[in-house]
Amino acid sequence: MKTERDQMNPKVKELAKMIDHSILHPTLTDEDLRRECEVAKKYDVASVCVKPYAVKQAVQLLKGTDVLVGCVIGFPAGNSSIDVKVFEAERACEDGAVEIDMVINIGKALQGDWDYIKEEIRSVTETSHKNNAIVKVIFETDFVTRTEDKIKLCEICTEAGADFVKTSTGFGFVKQPDGSYNYTGATLDDLRLMRKHSGPNVQIKAAGGVRTLEDLIKVKETGATRSGATATIKILDDGIERFGDK
């Protein structure tokens, strides 16, 4: 019996390997983690992105597959001190994570304390690389909205040797005029800006709001090579339907 992965043509496989399957909602249980890791295996995505305590379990659940395990650091608000972020990254790597998605100190970025931002990105990047993990630096573009600040962050990440710059957490909720909270997440304009102002060795990751096959294709067209997603099943099933099997 063919699996979804067996039915994927090269176009769909390429899209699948852009996806970091996000398992980050605060209410998720261990059973939810097992279910979502099965989704990641079934569709052979690039990675799962999990909370720090879940790294060891995810590594075991995905043993023998090509799906990598990533871990969020300072998530979602970025308010941990630098030494705590470094400790979190080191512990995640010890537990088996090979990708680290760190949230910057958003307030420090908004006040233009670039020396602080440089130090935290450099510190987490050095620690992660020492432990054979790559680093994705989350700007949280729902909060860091000024173009000049996003450009500066791209330049700092390039200088620090970060592997990816990333738009959002998917939890950057902003109060709306009606009193409700919502977020935008990745926009095509932000992805293009990040690609333009990051060095050639820095890749781009979209996160937040990528929910359809069309969304993922548009993200790819900006030059982004990874995207966070929770709607992985819908995106890739639609890809199989559109592009057919082998």
Active-site residue, from 41, 166, 190, 215:
166
Q: Tell me how far apart the alpha carbons of residues 179 and 167 are, in angstroms, rounded to a whole number.
A: 24
166 noted as active-site residue: yes
Pairing between β-strand 203-206 and β-strand 164-166 as defined by DSSP bridges: parallel
118 noted as active-site residue: no
CB 193 within 8 A of CB 151: yes
Active-site residue, from 41, 150, 205, 215:
205
Q: Exposure of 99 by Cβ count < 10 A (0-12 exposed, 13-18 middle, 19+ buried)?
A: buried
Cβ within 8 Å of residue 123, ≥6 positions away: 82, 85, 86
Active-site residue, from 44, 101, 142, 215:
101
Q: Tell me how far apart the alpha carbons of residues 154 and 217 are, in angstroms, rounded to a whole number.
A: 23
42 noted as active-site residue: no
Q: Tell me how far apart the alpha carbons of residues 17 and 22 are, in angstroms, rounded to a whole number.
A: 14
Q: Exposure of 97 by Cβ count < 10 A (0-12 exposed, 13-18 middle, 19+ buried)?
A: buried
Annotated active-site positions, please? 101, 166, 205
